[in-house]
């Protein structure tokens, strides 16, 4: 299976549904991948991107601590496919162990561990959105919007 490196652009709330969405971009490419996530996961992703350390560990912080405590690294995260409107991901651990995960959890953990996020060619073909060059302005506006919000905005 062919995979492409992805960068997390950020999290925003889709209106009028009030549904959080994480937007990823193909590194060195022109495709974007929007994935709808839950409010808790949106907050976890936003916290990781902004470097916020909560007073008590969130689930993804705990997962990171468990991996570190066991001496196992998260080598990469693969966003593999979308089936019946549901996205699927795999955590690839050191030593060849792979664990199925929700993409939102996988992204939140990858951001905390600095692990690469990779999307399959099939997923990018199915769910990716190709934006022309002039759409870069929109991405910049999206990034500006992200700078003005806080993770608490996603508390539901």
pLDDT at 150: 60
The model's pTM: 0.84
Q: Which residue has the higher pLDDT, 125 or 141?
A: 125
Work out the mean pLDDT of the chain and round it to a whole number: 89
Identify the residue whose tokens are 């066991």: 70
Domain count, the chain: 1
Residue 110: give its domain's CATH number: 3.10.690.10
pLDDT in tens, 93-119: 999 999 999 999 999 999 999 999 999
Which of these, 113, 152, 122, 111, lies nearest to 10 by C-alpha position? 111
pLDDT at 3: 97
pLDDT in tens, 16-73: 888 899 999 999 998 999 999 999 999 999 999 998 988 888 899 999 999 999 999 9
Helices 39-50 and 59-70, packing angle to 10 deg = 60
Residues 4, 124: Cα–Cα separation, whole Å: 9
| Sign (positive or negative) of CA dihedral 66, 77, 47, 58 | negative
For the chain, the residue count is 156
Interval 71-98 mean pLDDT: 97
Lowest mean pLDDT segment, chosen from 5-19, 22-36, 81-95? 5-19
Which of the four pLDDT bands, split at 50, 70 and 90, describes residue 144?
low
pLDDT at 53: 85
Backbone angles phi, psi at 15, to 5 degrees: -105, 150
Residues 131, 150: Cα–Cα separation, whole Å: 27
The parent domain of residue 53 ranges over: 3-154
């Amino acid at each position: 299976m062919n995979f492409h490196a992805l960068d997390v652009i950020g999290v925003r709330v889709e209106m009028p549904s009030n549904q959080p969405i994480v937007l990823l971009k193909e590194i060195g490419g022109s495709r974007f991948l929007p994935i709808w996530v839950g409010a808790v996961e949106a907050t976890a992703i936003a916290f990781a991107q902004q470097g916020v350390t909560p007073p008590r560990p969130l689930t993804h912080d705990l997962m990171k601590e468990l991996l570190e405590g066991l001496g196992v690294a998260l080598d990469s995260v693969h966003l593999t496919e979308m089936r019946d409107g549901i996205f699927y991901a795999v955590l690839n651990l050191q030593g060849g162990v792979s664990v199925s995960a929700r993409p939102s959890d996988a992204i939140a953990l990858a951001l905390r561990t600095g692990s690469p996020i990779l999307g399959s060619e099939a997923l990018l073909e199915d769910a990716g959105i190709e934006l022309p060059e002039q759409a870069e302005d929109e991405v910049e506006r999206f990034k500006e919007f992200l700078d003005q919000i806080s993770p608490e905005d996603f508390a539901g």
